[in-house]
């Protein structure tokens, strides 16, 4: 309730001033004051004065002030009280600011004062005006003189100030323009710098320097919070280097960082470690984590040199046999299909083969042998890095000259020492060979070998120990070119046999090697002379007395050479086969007859070679390509069957490499970092897998949002080629990227020719029943949600030709009647054809020719033959109204004039690419001719033309570049389309049909288009910059934020995200962080 003081004040007041605002009506105290005052005045608004300070009247005035009660007579003559709306007497000082409100109060206070004084507002207002006017006249007389003076001064000042303001505004405008120019210049410099970095990245990638290439590409793009333009060239470089659009990536996963250049490396200990060497020591690494297990530094006290402590040097020998018989390979494609490419080296290369983990694979490498500058020798466990044994130098050794690793022994060659009575030591006259058992480290014998040379000091310089076996030592003497066999007896050598080595030359640089195969020696000898590349391989009995065969192989067999026997029982060949490898070649020799089966010369050096008893050789070339060479492909005698299998492409040149159990370790030229690599699925790739034994997966169509996709696959029972069954699926991709599939059961067993989306919920499919002929094609409409199929009875057959649906509008187009007619099927299943065949006719009278047609919404523009005389015309036909317009182009006046391509530049304009190197444009409604553009400005031979915007089109030329043009000609911008196969892509072939292989598809962004070649290779073109952003191999389709692929070689179908710049940089960061 109101306080007593307030109630008394209200009761003693003649007037009530109400200050109105939206807040007033919300206050119960204010409303009680108003109610009490009205009760004292007969519930009327008498003597209530309102002052509106904010808000609108309807929300600020209390309801009681907006009406009053009046007494009146109703229709029955009775007096009744009624409410009548009234406008409150109000002063209004509502304004945008307090200052404005107070200004209004200077007048509005009179509205409050008038009732208080008992006079009219207008009278009061006029009296106030007269009083104010008189006051102003008195002031005016004083002020006018001052103002006159000020006016003169002000006018003069105004002129000056105005001039200065004009100058200041002009300067401000210039500064703004300069700032804009500086800002644009800075932006241009940033773009130019980013372009240089992207180019450097591309060059580094081509030079196989992957990590540095990725780092440069990242540098070209904006980092977090950096105000830097994004250029598509940098995104392209980075995406190619990271392989973001490959479902399986063979990438560097771990970095092994050395202090100096890596000189040697290999998996060892059955693949349990990686052992490497640089100038500072020997490293043992964990191949799973990349962690350093142990380092033996050259200044390590345990392995130090007593005579060369400051310049100690290690020599490392890897015990690797090169036998990987347990390694398994599988073909990923369908059992009935293979894909190959021609090769000048291998004749043919089959793709789609991959390593498969196997418990039978032994893992690479055994133990490691290390000797220092003193020739102290250690055998180190290849799996742990722990020392197994140590062999100290012989007490009577003055200097060691060589160390030979034989099958059973480590042979150390040294000169003895002579000690004078004074204790001074100097080199002696004798040479010795220490035979150290490789297993135990014990010196089994020390053999005096001086007598093998005519000169007492000449042995270590002119004789090579080839082998020690069964108590015999086999030696080649370069001094006289003799092969010699000695029996080891009483720590000395007794001659058994010697003869002149074949294949060597006097005074030349000769190389002779020997390997025991089945207890018999095979000798390889060659003379390394200019232009002479031939090695003799000779099989002898164990005493070198009888030569069983000799054969010349066109290679230089050097110290890196290997010999390996492939048993007939494992290979299936008639005889055992001797496989011979060098850095530049691989040869197969019939071990029984000595005949050369095949010699393959590489186009670059190999960095790794291993063999399998089953007749396979695994090679990794310096180019980074890994091949599996099968003996069986070279035994027919028919060179046309020669072939190898590509297993991996490391996409990086490698100077050193090793393989073990699906992992690789590599190092580049002069690199102090080695990388562990292995294949793994791209984490951003989503695989679409219909199930086990499903092959030949193919993405036929994707809707524009990427939500629905049409997939075909063939079931091979038990993975074998018999009783195959085709299947059709509709897959749904959820917002989080998960996929689920529904099989179209009605079409199980059908051959699916083509599919296309008609609207959002229907798919049109062309299918041939199992065992049916291609001319028995049927057409179905499939509901994408349920997977139910309904046959379209009225659809025209393609007549045995391949169907390709072109989605447009709310349906699909295709060539029917053996490609002579155009048919359109909409989402409702309605079929409309351009030409209606007469009853009984086999084909229509008019026909579409040369497959030249293009579509826009429900219209098609096409090249047609109008009559039996062969008159040609280009027609635009509406499949809604069934009305047509002929373009006003004369194709008969010039017999040589031919249409290469028809396309829609925009919804109103049709473009025609002609063989006279011009593009002509026509109005689609009237057929009237518009501009004709010469393509000579490209200075290249044009192949095809596609639209890239409503005004611009791209011209693909035989230099693999696309050139941007419009009706004014060449815009000056072009970019190169880098093909996966730069040779076999049909770009350079002169064939007009190739024009149809170039297509353009919309992406989710209007300024980016997919440029597609031959249906399976695509580039995402940024039309603002006219530069390629991404390249997608095995391209199938694109929809929304996804791009779909069909990899028939590796039996994969699935999709990737269209990488944003941030996502691409995130992928790069993960890659580089793993190698940090």
Residues 6 or more apart in contact with residue 520 via CB below 8 angstroms: 539, 540, 541, 542, 548
Token pair of 465 as six digits: 């120990």
Residue whose token pair is 């990227």: 737
Neighbours of 904 (CB within 10 A): 20
Neighbours of 511 (CB within 10 A): 21
Three-state DSSP state, 943? strand
**CA torsion angle 253 257 258 260 (round to 10):** 100
Residues 6 or more apart in contact with residue 986 via CB below 8 angstroms: 994, 997, 1014
CA distances for 955 relative to 585, 933, 941, 1015, angstroms: 44, 12, 10, 18
Q: Write the Ramachandran bin of 359: left for phi over 0, alpha for psi from -120 to 50, otherwise beta.
A: alpha
Can you spell out the DSSP letters for 323-390?
A: B-TT-EEEE-S-TT---EEEETTTEEEE--EEEE--TT---S---EEEE-TT--EEEE-TTT--EEEE
pLDDT of residue 339: 85
CA distances for 994 relative to 980, 981, 985, 1046, angstroms: 17, 16, 10, 22
Three-state DSSP state, 7? helix
Long-range contacts of 798-802 (CB under 8 A, 24+ apart): 798/753, 798/766, 799/775, 800/773, 800/774, 800/775, 801/774, 802/753, 802/754
CA distance 417 to 432: 11
Burial class (CB in 10 A: 0-12, 13-18, 19+), 866: middle
DSSP letter (8 states) at residue 737: S
Residue whose token pair is 């002069």: 670
CA distances for 87 relative to 67, 113, 547, 791, angstroms: 8, 18, 133, 76
Distinct helix (H) and strand (E) counts, the chain: 10, 73
Residue whose token pair is 């099968």: 630
538 touches 522 (CB < 8 A):
yes
pLDDT of residue 143: 45
Token pair of 584 as six digits: 């530049």
Where do the DSSP E strands lie in 501-605?
510-517, 520-527, 535-540, 547-553, 562-566, 577-582, 585-590, 596-601
Can you spell out the DSSP letters for 100-125?
A: HHHHHHHHHHHHHHHHHHTS-HHHHH
pLDDT of residue 456: 41
CA distance 697 to 718: 17
Partner residues linked to 387 by β-bridges: 380
Give the Cα-Cα-Cα angle 35, 40, 42 (nearest 5 degrees).
90
CA distances for 266 relative to 277, 382, 406, 1026, angstroms: 10, 10, 20, 47
Rounded to the nearest 5°, which phi and psi values hold at 121?
-60, -45
pLDDT of residue 845: 78
Can you spell out the DSSP letters for 668-718?
A: -TT-SEEEEEEEEE-TT-EE----TTEEEEEEEEE-TTSSEEEEEEEE-GG
CA distances for 402 relative to 135, 411, 414, 1021, angstroms: 126, 8, 7, 62
CA distance 709 to 1037: 9
468 touches 411 (CB < 8 A):
yes
Neighbours of 647 (CB within 10 A): 21
Chain CA centroid to CA 368, Å = 40
Token pair of 88 as six digits: 């409150």
Residues 6 or more apart in contact with residue 1059 via CB below 8 angstroms: 235, 239, 244, 684, 1030, 1067
Token pair of 317 as six digits: 């020998």
CA distance 790 to 437: 80
Residues 6 or more apart in contact with residue 648 via CB below 8 angstroms: 250, 354, 355, 625, 626, 664, 679
Partner residues linked to 1035 by β-bridges: 1045
Three-state DSSP state, 506? coil
Residues 6 or more apart in contact with residue 943 via CB below 8 angstroms: 956, 957, 958, 987, 994, 995, 998
217 touches 239 (CB < 8 A):
no
Mean pLDDT by 10 residues, the chain (1076 residues): 83 86 83 86 82 82 79 74 71 77 73 72 66 60 49 54 76 83 80 90 87 93 85 95 93 94 96 96 96 94 83 92 84 84 93 88 92 95 96 93 93 92 87 95 94 47 84 90 93 92 83 92 84 86 91 91 95 96 96 96 95 95 95 91 93 92 93 94 95 93 96 88 89 90 95 94 94 89 95 90 91 94 95 84 80 96 84 94 94 83 97 95 97 89 95 94 96 93 71 85 94 95 97 96 94 96 95 91
Residues 6 or more apart in contact with residue 291 via CB below 8 angstroms: 285
pLDDT of residue 576: 97
Q: Whole-model pTM?
A: 0.78
CA distances for 779 relative to 749, 752, 814, 880, angstroms: 15, 10, 11, 21
Neighbours of 353 (CB within 10 A): 22
Residue in 478, 490, 470 with CA at minimum distance from that of residue 454: 478
Length of the chain: 1076
CA distance 351 to 348: 10
Residue in 682, 677, 681 with CA at minimum distance from that of residue 290: 677
Residue in 920, 911, 914 with CA at minimum distance from that of residue 896: 914
654 touches 670 (CB < 8 A):
no
Rounded to the nearest 5°, which phi and psi values hold at 756?
-155, 145
Token pair of 610 as six digits: 């291993």
Pairing state of beta strands 778-783 and 762-768?
antiparallel
Residue whose token pair is 């059961």: 745
Residue in 154, 202, 257 with CA at minimum distance from that of residue 671: 257
Letter string b/e over residues 723-744, b meaning 16 or more CB atoms within 10 A of that residue's CB: ebebbbbbbebeeeeebebbbb
């Amino acid at each position: 309730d109101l306080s007593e003081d307030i109630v008394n004040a209200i009761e003693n007041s003649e007037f009530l001033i109400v200050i109105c605002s939206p807040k007033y009506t919300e206050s119960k105290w204010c409303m009680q004051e108003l109610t009490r005052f009205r009760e004292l005045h007969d519930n009327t608004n008498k003597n209530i004065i309102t002052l509106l300070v904010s808000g609108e009247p309807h929300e600020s005035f209390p309801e009681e002030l907006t009406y009053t009660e009046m007494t009146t007579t109703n229709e029955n003559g009775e007096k009744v009280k009624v409410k009548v709306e009234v406008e409150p007497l109000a002063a209004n000082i509502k304004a945008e600011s307090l200052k404005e409100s107070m200004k209004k109060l200077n007048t509005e206070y009179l509205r409050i004062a008038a009732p208080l004084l008992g006079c009219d507002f207008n009278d009061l207002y006029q009296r106030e005006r007269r009083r104010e006017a008189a006051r102003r006249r008195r002031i005016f007389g004083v002020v006018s003189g001052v103002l006159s003076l000020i006016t003169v001064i002000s006018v003069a000042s105004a002129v000056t100030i105005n001039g200065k303001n004009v100058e200041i505004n002009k300067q401000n405008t210039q500064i703004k323009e300069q700032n804009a120019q500086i800002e644009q210049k800075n932006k241009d410099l940033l773009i130019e710098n980013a372009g240089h970095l992207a180019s450097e990245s591309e060059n580094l990638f081509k030079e196989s320097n992957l990590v540095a290439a990725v780092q440069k590409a990242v540098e070209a793009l904006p980092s977090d919070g950096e105000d830097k333009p994004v250029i598509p060239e940098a995104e392209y470089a980075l995406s190619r280097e990271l392989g973001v659009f490959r479902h399986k990536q063979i990438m560097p996963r771990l970095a092994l960082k050395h202090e100096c250049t890596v000189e040697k490396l290999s998996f060892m200990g059955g693949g349990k470690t990686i052992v490497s060497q640089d100038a500072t020591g020997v490293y043992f690494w964990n191949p799973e984590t990349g962690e350093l297990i142990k380092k033996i530094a050259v200044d390590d006290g345990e392995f130090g040199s007593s005579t060369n402590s400051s310049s100690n040097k290690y020599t490392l020998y890897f015990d690797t046999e090169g036998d990987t018989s347990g390694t398994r390979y599988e073909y990923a494609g369908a059992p009935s299909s293979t894909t190959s490419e021609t090769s000048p080296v291998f004749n043919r290369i089959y793709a789609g083969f991959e390593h498969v983990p196997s418990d039978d694979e032994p893992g690479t490498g055994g133990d490691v042998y290390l000797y220092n500058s003193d020739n102290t020798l250690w055998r180190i466990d290849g799996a742990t890095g722990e020392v197994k044994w140590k062999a100290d130098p012989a007490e009577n050794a003055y200097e060691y000259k060589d160390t030979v690793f034989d099958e059973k022994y480590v042979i150390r060659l040294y000169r003895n020492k002579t000690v004078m009575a004074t204790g001074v030591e100097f080199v002696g006259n004798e040479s010795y060979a220490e035979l150290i058992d490789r297993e135990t480290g014990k010196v089994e014998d020390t053999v005096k070998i001086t007598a093998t040379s005519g000169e007492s000091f000449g042995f270590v310089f002119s004789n090579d120990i080839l082998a020690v076996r069964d108590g015999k030592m086999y030696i080649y003497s370069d001094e006289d070119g003799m092969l010699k066999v000695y029996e080891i007896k009483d720590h000395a050598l007794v001659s058994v046999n010697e003869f002149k080595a074949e294949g060597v030359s006097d005074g030349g640089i000769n190389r002779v090697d020997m390997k025991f195969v089945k207890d018999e020696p095979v000798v390889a000898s060659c003379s390394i002379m200019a232009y002479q590349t031939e090695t003799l391989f000779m099989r002898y009995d164990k005493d070198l007395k009888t030569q069983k065969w000799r054969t010349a192989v066109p290679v230089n067999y050097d110290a890196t050479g290997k010999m390996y026997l492939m048993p007939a029982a494992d290979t299936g060949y008639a005889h055992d086969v001797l496989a011979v490898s060098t850095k530049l070649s691989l040869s197969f020799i019939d071990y029984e007859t000595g005949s050369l089966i095949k010699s393959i010369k590489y186009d670059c050096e190999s960095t790794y070679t291993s063999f399998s008893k089953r007749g396979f050789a695994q090679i990794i070339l310096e180019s980074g390509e890994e091949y599996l060479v099968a003996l069986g492909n070279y035994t027919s005698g028919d060179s046309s069957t020669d072939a190898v299998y590509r297993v991996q492409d490391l996409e990086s040149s490698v100077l050193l490499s090793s393989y073990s159990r699906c992992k690789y370790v590599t190092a580049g030229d002069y690199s102090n970092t080695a990388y562990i690599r292995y294949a793994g699925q791209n984490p951003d790739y989503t695989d679409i897998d219909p199930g086990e034994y499903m092959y030949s997966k193919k993405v036929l169509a994707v809707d524009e949002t990427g939500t629905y996709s049409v997939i075909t696959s063939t079931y091979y029972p038990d993975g074998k080629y018999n009783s195959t069954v085709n299947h059709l699926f509709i897959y749904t991709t959820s917002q989080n990227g998960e996929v689920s599939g529904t099989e179209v059961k009605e079409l199980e067993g059908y051959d699916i020719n083509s599919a296309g989306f008609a609207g959002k919920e229907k798919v049109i499919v062309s299918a041939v029943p199992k065992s049916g002929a291609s001319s028995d094609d049927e057409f179905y409409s499939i509901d994408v949600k349920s997977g139910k199929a309904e046959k379209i009875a009225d659809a025209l057959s393609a007549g045995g030709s391949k169907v390709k649906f072109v989605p447009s509008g709310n349906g699909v187009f295709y060539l029917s009647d053996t490609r002579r007619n155009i048919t359109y099927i909409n989402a409702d299943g309605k079929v409309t054809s351009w030409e209606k065949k007469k009853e009984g006719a086999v084909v229509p009278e008019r026909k579409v020719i040369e497959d030249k047609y293009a579509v826009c919404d429900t219209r098609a523009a096409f090249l047609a033959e109008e009559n039996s005389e062969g008159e040609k015309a280009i027609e635009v036909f509406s499949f809604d109204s069934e009305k047509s317009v002929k373009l006003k182009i004369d194709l008969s006046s010039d017999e040589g004039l031919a249409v290469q391509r028809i396309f829609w530049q925009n919804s109103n304009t049709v473009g025609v690419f002609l063989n006279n190197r011009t593009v002509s444009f026509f109005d689609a409604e009237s057929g009237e001719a518009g501009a004709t553009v010469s393509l000579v400005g490209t200075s290249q031979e044009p192949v095809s033309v596609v639209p890239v915007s409503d005004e611009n089109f791209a011209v693909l030329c035989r230099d693999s570049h696309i050139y941007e043009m419009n009706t004014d000609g060449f815009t000056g911008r072009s970019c190169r389309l880098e093909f996966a196969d730069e040779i076999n892509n049909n770009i350079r072939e002169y064939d007009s049909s190739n024009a149809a292989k170039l297509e353009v598809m919309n992406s989710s962004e209007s300024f980016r288009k997919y440029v597609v070649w031959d249906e399976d290779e695509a580039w995402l073109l940024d039309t603002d910059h006219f530069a390629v952003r991404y390249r997608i191999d095995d391209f199938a389709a694109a929809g929304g934020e996804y791009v779909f692929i069909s990899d028939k070689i590796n039996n994969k179908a699935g999709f990737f995200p269209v990488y944003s710049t941030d996502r691409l940089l995130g992928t790069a960061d993960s890659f580089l962080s793993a190698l940090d």
